[in-house]
Amino acid sequence: MEFRIAVLPGDGIGPEVIGEAVKVLDEVGERFGHRFDVQSGPIGGHAIDRYGTALPDETLEACYNVDAVLFGAAGGPKWDVSDAEERPEQGILKIRREFGLFANIRPAKSHPALYAASSLKPEYLEGVDLIVLRELIGGLYFSKPKKRWSTKTGKRRGMDTLKYSEEEIARVVRVGFELARSWRGKLVSTDKFNVMESSRLWREVATEVGEEYPDVELEHILADNLAMQLLRNPAQFDVIVANNIFGDLLSDEAAMLTGSLGMLPSASLAEAPGAAGSGKQLFGLYEPVHGSAPDIAGQGIANPVGAIYSTSMMLRYSLGLSEEADAVERAVEGVLAEGYCTPDLARGGGEVVGTRQMGDLITGSL
Ligand code: IPM
Ligand code: MG
């Protein structure tokens, strides 16, 4: 089959890890007889330097003409100026919003070969296999007013707003129930019900939507408590649904259960994915969770697994290729089981390899 994909490597380690992801994709094409027509485009800090905007029109247009978008990372110290008009991150935030990609799926699965790389003891990591489902286009990131100003006496003020409508809550919570239903039947919804109005609405709506899913067990856990539970007993969790900011924080935390932030992939969708193997195809944006990591950019040592796992999520959700997605995931797991790792995972010993070599090993075991 033939598919069109927009590849947006972005800044920092983005181009390095996306290079490996595309290599894996090409190999999948060879092995399974598909054609992936890849179009790339500028985004992020580099795009600001060249075009004066983090999301040039041509990049956005490319996204409209494809089945899925694979994105690397955006940002870096060069563009970290607090009063900058345009920030690199705006590029990716605009794409998420433009396409209504409200459901951000971030799976975190522990792997025995990487237990030693995690900051938690191995006995806590056994059986960890969870999803942080993050609301991606509302809440604290996007609600208005959002501004900076100075008072008459010259004192600076800054403001963000956390606002949700019941529709916004219901649609993401519903995706949570769908994911939980097709899996182990447990959904945790997180909020700060005890302090925040938007959270009280969140809990109310989650409970109402839950009535449509009597087969799924719904539990509400306060976000601060959940942050603690994720370290105390992470294996108890299956699907966790959270608002934009809580999901951002909790998914970075969950990443450490896998050994490294470099391991985590993500899929951003505008509706619930079909059941595995249903072949349903949805437009989606796929990105590793790690970000641009400017401290290690250009050194060839970044972990490409988050980007490669993002590619397997793309194969599964947007291209309807679940057999191919399984093959990629098996290849990654096989290479890790053999003891290969990138420096971010090296605490546990094993043979340390660079970004390219890791990509080659995975490609070679497909
Ligand atoms: C993420 C990142 C982004 C976010 C940044 C880079 C805008 O941290 O995808 O988790 O905050 O959403
Ligand atoms: Mg984040």
Q: Tell how far the Cα of 230 is from the centroid of ligand 1, in angstroms.
A: 20
Q: Tell how far the Cα of 341 is from the centroid of ligand 1, in angstroms.
A: 25
Look at residue 253 and tell me whether its pLDDT is greater than 70: yes
Active-site residue flag, 191: no
Look at residue 355 and tell me whether its pLDDT is greater than 80: yes
Catalytic residue among 11, 67, 191, 192: 192
Give the model's pLDDT for residue 92: 96
Which of 93, 101, 105 to mutate to test ligand 1, by most ligand atoms within 8 A of the CB atom?
93
Catalytic residue among 26, 224, 280, 295: 224
Catalytic residue among 11, 23, 67, 141: 141
Active-site residue flag, 213: no
Catalytic residue among 129, 160, 252, 326: 252
Contacts for 7 with CB less than 8 Å, ≥ 6 apart? 18, 22, 38, 39, 40, 41, 69, 70
Q: Please give the Cα distance from 9 to 23 (Å, whole number).
A: 13
Give the model's pLDDT for residue 260: 95
Counting from 1 in the atom list of ligand 1, the atom nearest the Cα of 252 is: 10
Q: Tell how far the Cα of 220 is from the centroid of ligand 1, in angstroms.
A: 25
Give the model's pLDDT for residue 244: 98
Q: Please give the Cα distance from 9 to 134 (Å, whole number).
A: 22
Q: Give the ligand at the shortest distance from the Cα of 54.
A: 1
Give the model's pLDDT for residue 240: 98
Average pLDDT value for residue range 246-273: 96
Look at residue 52 and tell me whether its pLDDT is greater than 60: yes
Are 326 and 82 contacting, i.e. CB atoms less than 8 angstroms apart? no
Show the ligand 1 pocket: residues with CB < 6 angstroms. 75, 89, 93, 248, 289, 291
Token duo for residue 215: 């087969």
Partners of residue 73 on adjacent β-strands:
10
Give the model's pLDDT for residue 348: 67
Q: What pLDDT band is residue 278 in, cutting at 50, 70 and 90?
A: low
Catalytic residue among 67, 191, 238, 248: 248
Counting from 1 in the atom list of ligand 1, the atom nearest the Cα of 291 is: 6
Active-site residue flag, 252: yes
pTM of the model: 0.96
Q: How far is CA 40 from the centre of its chain?
A: 20
Q: How far is CA 310 from the centre of its chain?
A: 8
Give the model's pLDDT for residue 242: 98
Q: How far is CA 200 from the centre of its chain?
A: 26
Structural element, H or E, at residue 99: none
Q: Please give the Cα distance from 64 to 77 (Å, whole number).
A: 30
Partners of residue 332 on adjacent β-strands:
none
Counting from 1 in the atom list of ligand 1, the atom nearest the Cα of 75 is: 6
Average pLDDT value for residue range 28-39: 98
Give the model's pLDDT for residue 274: 72
Average pLDDT value for residue range 87-94: 96
User: Over the stretch 284-329, which tens digit does the pLDDT of each residue have?
Assistant: 999 999 999 999 999 999 999 999 999 999 999 999 999 999 999 9
Q: Tell how far the Cα of 251 is from the centroid of ligand 2, in angstroms.
A: 7
Token duo for residue 316: 């599964």
DSSP string, 33-72: T-EEEEEE---SHHHHHHHSSSS-HHHHHHHHTSSEEEEE
The protein residue with its alpha carbon nearest to ligand 1, atom 12, reads 248
Look at residue 275 and tell me whether its pLDDT is greater than 70: no
Look at residue 277 and tell me whether its pLDDT is greater than 70: no
The protein residue with its alpha carbon nearest to ligand 1, atom 4, reads 248
User: Over the stretch 188-205, which tens digit does the pLDDT of each residue have?
Assistant: 999 999 999 999 999 999
Are 231 and 118 contacting, i.e. CB atoms less than 8 angstroms apart? no
Give the model's pLDDT for residue 350: 86
Q: What pLDDT band is residue 83 in, cutting at 50, 70 and 90?
A: confident
Look at residue 270 and tell me whether its pLDDT is greater than 90: yes
User: Over the stretch 120-135, which tens digit does the pLDDT of each residue have?
Assistant: 999 999 999 999 999 9
Looking at every residue in the chain, the average pLDDT score rounds to: 96
Active-site residue flag, 141: yes
